Amino acid sequence: MKPAKISILAPGLLGGSVALAATQAFPKAELVIWSRRKESLAPIHQALPKAKVGTDWSAVAGSDLVLLGAPASALSSLVRSLLPHLSTHTLVTDVASVKAPVEKDVAPLLQGRARWIGSHPMAGSEDSGFAAARADLFQKATIILTPTSSTPAPTIHDAAGFWKSLGGRVVELAVEEHDRLVSRISHLPHALAATLVRAAGLAALPLAGSGYRDTTRVAAGPAAMWAEILLGNRREVLASLAEFRTGLQKLEKALANQDAATLTKFLEEAAEIRRTLPSP
Amino acid sequence: MKPAKISILAPGLLGGSVALAATQAFPKAELVIWSRRKESLAPIHQALPKAKVGTDWSAVAGSDLVLLGAPASALSSLVRSLLPHLSTHTLVTDVASVKAPVEKDVAPLLQGRARWIGSHPMAGSEDSGFAAARADLFQKATIILTPTSSTPAPTIHDAAGFWKSLGGRVVELAVEEHDRLVSRISHLPHALAATLVRAAGLAALPLAGSGYRDTTRVAAGPAAMWAEILLGNRREVLASLAEFRTGLQKLEKALANQDAATLTKFLEEAAEIRRTLPSP
């Protein structure tokens, strides 16, 4: 897929990075950036001088690809405003971290009006907003597509091609499988990092080394956005927290019993799993 | 303090990094590297061609500074072998992560035989052994010294001067305060990272982004070494795990109750603490 016109709606860290990366990947494509907030237009215009940047919905008309950069809770209202400017050939996708609510809210609105597929780029930062966007954010990043049984093959193919053009490595998962696995690999780590920061407190901070720095980095991320993500996936997040607590009890028991063998085995099994992760 | 002769005993990641950094900081000093294991001598000799590398205790005699690179459990046996080769002017320090057991085991052996002070460099890596050593490991790293009420001021001064020469930022803490704070900033994060890796499991790994990668990096570290550290500081580690569990219950309750306000506040308070940590 070589889109001739790309529109990015509500560009934050992810949408903004798509805009920057798409400018490099598709230098001849027309780029439209739509933002609800007038005050955010100037820096976007400065970073993307060739793009059409504004608050006008009609600029979106005729797009080959529309990327929804807003969080899940804002998507259905965004899509309702978008509907009059869609063609049936337009590929619409998003970047939200929890897919079941998006599929439930957004897919029915777009049914028969555009080609819809959910996307979740496993890329980000503790920083947020367009100011944190980077053209190389998706290089080697995993992009999860969540087609359903009714998603046509060309829609999957075109969405995958687009993300690959931005440097991503594309994986397809069913919506429920996505939400289950991502709760373990992203939402649980965030919940634990925040809880760890609170438990460690301020007193120990002057001693922090790279271990604390890395284990807690994500906890500096935007609280409201993460609260929405954790709540949106709360069934899976609660299930993974329960599994985590079971593991923690095992570790605490080994510590309390001064059981070096069990504790070493516990840590060794973790180290073996972690060492299977290739370097980025 | 400009040591004319420095001996590093049992050089792993930390001791090896001290050797590499000291070679740069004190190019005229005589450097002795002692290792129990004959098979580790060749790579050390290759990395430090000017150093005297071997298994012979007598080479250590006359050192101005002796650095014990071994884990806490090996220190008293190491110090017993070291005793005949010490002068009362020799400054002896270590790199162990838990100070109460070291102070209890090692300090009495060195009483009146050498100048002793405990050190804990807050630097490291998930890699271990001399092969992972780096000359710049202590640049801007926090080095905690744990003087007791009977440590003479010149001993503190000389140890601080040595670590500063290697690039470190020196902090003094009482032994108990060290073990309490370091449990929060280092031991608790390690225990949680290992438990997280186990809970997330292998299935989700292909989706891992930078969040999972960073929150779990330390879990790839050497299991036996970390088991010893957690057990050595188990009272404080168990206390910090209990505080962590209390926080986790609060987060789980907010999630289960779909209480967005409490959850956002929980995450925001964590983000505010984490954002106070300056970039490295």
Q: Specify the pLDDT at position A38.
A: 86
Cβ distance A228 to B270 less than 8 Å, yes or no, reads no
Q: Give the pLDDT band of residue B235 (cuts 50, 70, 90).
A: very high
Cβ distance B234 to A216 less than 8 Å, yes or no, reads no
Higher per-residue confidence, B126 vs B75: B75
The answer to whether the CB of A130 falls within 8 A of the CB of A40 is yes
Q: Is residue A217 part of a domain?
A: yes
Determine the average pLDDT of the residues in A254-275: 98
Determine the average pLDDT of the residues in A53-67: 96
Interface membership of B83 toward A (CB under 8 Å): no
Query: Chain B closest CA to A169's CA: distance in Å?
Result: 10
Determine the average pLDDT of the residues in B235-246: 97
Using an 8 Å CB-CB cutoff, list chain A residues near B197.
270, 273-274
Interface membership of B103 toward A (CB under 8 Å): no
Taking 3-state DSSP, the helix, strand and coil percentages for chain B, each rounded to the nearest 5, stand at 55, 15, 30
**Of all residues in chain B, what percent carry a pLDDT higher than 70?**
100
Cβ distance A202 to B275 less than 8 Å, yes or no, reads no
Q: Specify the pLDDT at position B126.
A: 81
pLDDT at A279 over 80: no
Query: Can you give the C-alpha Rg of chain A in angstroms?
Result: 21
Using an 8 Å CB-CB cutoff, list chain A residues near B217.
211, 214-215, 274
Alpha carbons within 13 A on the beta-carbon side of B260: 10
pLDDT at A274 over 80: yes
CATH number reported for the structural domain that contains residue A195 in this entry? 1.10.3660.10
Determine the average pLDDT of the residues in B140-147: 96
pLDDT at A55 over 90: yes
d(CA A32, CA A34): 6
Retrieve residue B80's tokens.
Answer: 């017993």
B192 and B164 inside one domain: no
B187 and B210 inside one domain: yes
Residue finishing a domain among B134, B151, B173: B173
Cβ distance A122 to B209 less than 8 Å, yes or no, reads yes
Cβ distance B270 to A219 less than 8 Å, yes or no, reads yes
pLDDT at B71 over 80: yes
Determine the average pLDDT of the residues in B100-109: 97
B145 and B190 inside one domain: no
Q: Specify the pLDDT at position B170.
A: 97
Interface membership of A202 toward B (CB under 8 Å): yes
Q: Is residue A98 part of a domain?
A: yes
Q: Edge-to-edge strands of the sheet including B30-34?
A: B52-54, B30-34, B5-9, B65-68, B91-94, B115-116
Interface membership of A174 toward B (CB under 8 Å): no
Using an 8 Å CB-CB cutoff, list chain A residues near B209.
122-124, 141-142, 185-186
Closest partner CB to B212 (pick from A186, A234, A244) = A186
- Sign of the torsion formed by the C-alpha atoms of A7, A11, A13 and A19: positive
Q: Which amino acid is at B214?
A: D
d(CA A243, CA A231): 18
Average pLDDT, whole number, for chain B?
Answer: 96
Cβ distance A275 to B142 less than 8 Å, yes or no, reads no
Tokens 């109750």 sit on residue: B257
pLDDT at A1 over 80: no
CATH number reported for the structural domain that contains residue B162 in this entry? 3.40.50.720
Q: Which amino acid is at A148?
A: T
Nearest C-alpha in B relative to A145: B207
Cβ distance B263 to A227 less than 8 Å, yes or no, reads yes
Cβ distance A241 to B228 less than 8 Å, yes or no, reads no
Q: Give the pLDDT band of residue B38 (cuts 50, 70, 90).
A: confident
Q: Specify the pLDDT at position B171.
A: 96
- pTM listed for this prediction: 0.92
Determine the average pLDDT of the residues in B181-195: 97
B69 and B141 inside one domain: yes
Interface membership of B217 toward A (CB under 8 Å): yes
Determine the average pLDDT of the residues in A192-201: 97
Nearest C-alpha in B relative to A263: B227
The answer to whether the CB of A258 falls within 8 A of the CB of B231 is yes
pLDDT at B1 over 90: no
Q: Specify the pLDDT at position A257.
A: 98
B32 and B105 inside one domain: yes
Q: What are phi and psi of A53, to 5 degrees?
A: -115, 125
Cβ distance B201 to A186 less than 8 Å, yes or no, reads no
B220 and B148 inside one domain: no
Determine the average pLDDT of the residues in B50-73: 96
B92 and B145 inside one domain: yes
Cβ distance B223 to A141 less than 8 Å, yes or no, reads no
A41 and A159 inside one domain: yes
Residue window 250-279, chain B: list those with CB within 8 Å of chain A: 251-252, 255-256, 258, 260, 263-271, 273-277
Which structural domain range is residue B74 located in?
Answer: 5-173
pLDDT at B279 over 80: no
Residue window 127-156, chain A: list those with CB within 8 Å of chain B: 141-142, 144
Interface membership of A239 toward B (CB under 8 Å): no
Q: Specify the pLDDT at position B224.
A: 95
A167 and A88 inside one domain: yes
A120 and A165 inside one domain: yes
Determine the average pLDDT of the residues in B115-140: 93
A51 and A126 inside one domain: yes
Q: Give the pLDDT band of residue B214 (cuts 50, 70, 90).
A: very high
Closest partner CB to A223 (pick from B122, B237, B271) = B271
A140 and A192 inside one domain: no
DSSP collapsed to 3 states, A33-67: EECCCHHHHHHHHHHCCCCEEECCHHHHCCCCEEE
Cβ distance A191 to B226 less than 8 Å, yes or no, reads no
Q: Is residue A13 part of a domain?
A: yes
Q: Specify the pLDDT at position A125.
A: 80
Q: Which amino acid is at B53?
A: V
- Number of structural domains (chain A) is 2
Interface membership of B28 toward A (CB under 8 Å): no
Q: Specify the pLDDT at position B167.
A: 97
Q: Give the pLDDT band of residue A126 (cuts 50, 70, 90).
A: confident
Q: Specify the pLDDT at position A159.
A: 98
Using an 8 Å CB-CB cutoff, list chain B residues near A216.
189, 215, 274
Residue finishing a domain among A108, A140, A173: A173
Q: Give the pLDDT band of residue B186 (cuts 50, 70, 90).
A: very high
d(CA B139, CA B167): 4
Cβ distance B189 to A196 less than 8 Å, yes or no, reads yes
The answer to whether the CB of B187 falls within 8 A of the CB of B233 is yes
Q: Which helix (H) or strand (E) holds A187?
A: none
